[in-house]
Amino acid sequence: MKSVIISSILMFMIAGFVRAEVATVDEANKLYADKKYAESVLKYEEMLAKEGVAPELYYNLGNAYFRMNELGKAILNYERALRLSPRYADARFNLEFANQKVIDNIELSDTFFLKKWIGAIMRLMTSNGWFYFAAIFFIPALAALLLFVFGNTKVARKTSFYIGSVLMIISIVSLVFSGIRKNQMVNHEAGIVMTGAVVIKGSPDRSGTDLFQLHEGTRVDVVSTLGDWFEVKLASGSVGWVESKYVEKI
């Protein structure tokens, strides 16, 4: 009897916690719908801190920041939503729309187009997604290899060899993509400029040579870190140093 009472109490506590969490999400969404964007931002950020990350929360947070004209924070959260869920169509659309408002029009280097194409393919799935994709192709590749070894006819062996080779290459490439995506998730190499305008220096020092200027919302790759400075690289290939307080990693 005592155990039944304890179990009932635990169930009521869990149910209450779930209702409180849903109420918090509903409350944040209602604040956004009522155009109380600053209040909704506080709610979304509180949930991210307490309940953990979720692409929907980052997406909603990005929308709230966009309504507040905080372009850098909006883009940052859309990017974070896509890191967790690369196929999040709404986040992708809003990110592209927000990027149109970024002042910097960075011209891509000639060698960057292939890199961008490959990067776009990699971002279609998470690390786990690419791992499962590799496993799916590895199984028929292994079957084709067995058919090549034990096949009765030359045609069957030759066909299985080519099919198995293609499947194995796809599997290996998928594993490589999985490793790269995992590294991207852990190391956070990309960042967003969070201030209105910042001067990029030729060295990690405020007295360093001014190279060029970047504006809020511009995406950069963080090449290295030295104290309070980031060495950043643009899609155009330009490299320079910026104080880390002006850039937040995705």
Residue 182 lies in a domain: yes
* Residue range(s) defining the domain that contains residue 228: 190-249
Residue 71: the pLDDT is 94
Residue 104 lies in a domain: no
User: Which residue among 75, 99, 123 closes a domain?
Assistant: 99
pLDDT band at 51 (very low <50, low <70, confident <90, very high): confident
163 and 199 co-located in one domain: no
Structure confidence by residue, pLDDT tens digits, 221-244: 999 999 999 999 988 888 999 999
pLDDT band at 36 (very low <50, low <70, confident <90, very high): very high
93 and 168 co-located in one domain: no
pTM listed for this prediction: 0.69
Pairing of strands 247-249, 190-193: antiparallel
Residue 109: the pLDDT is 53
Structure confidence by residue, pLDDT tens digits, 117-176: 787 788 788 888 889 899 999 989 888 888 888 877 888 888 888 898 999 999 999 999
- Phi, psi torsion values for 91, nearest 5 degrees: -65, -40
pLDDT band at 19 (very low <50, low <70, confident <90, very high): very low
What letter does residue 246 receive in the DSSP assignment? G
Residue 105 lies in a domain: no
Query: Between the ranges 8-22, 100-114, 115-129, 158-172, where is the mean pLDDT highest?
Result: 158-172
Q: How many CB atoms lie within 10 A of CB 120?
A: 10
13 and 62 co-located in one domain: yes
204 and 244 co-located in one domain: yes
High-pLDDT (> 70) share of the chain, %: 86
DSSP symbols for 217-243: T-EEEEEEEETTEEEEE-TTS-EEEEE
User: Which residue among 44, 76, 99 closes a domain?
Assistant: 99
User: Which residue among 170, 187, 204 closes a domain?
Assistant: 187
Residue 149: the pLDDT is 81
Helix (H) or strand (E) holding 22: helix 2-33
128 and 87 co-located in one domain: no
24 and 88 co-located in one domain: yes
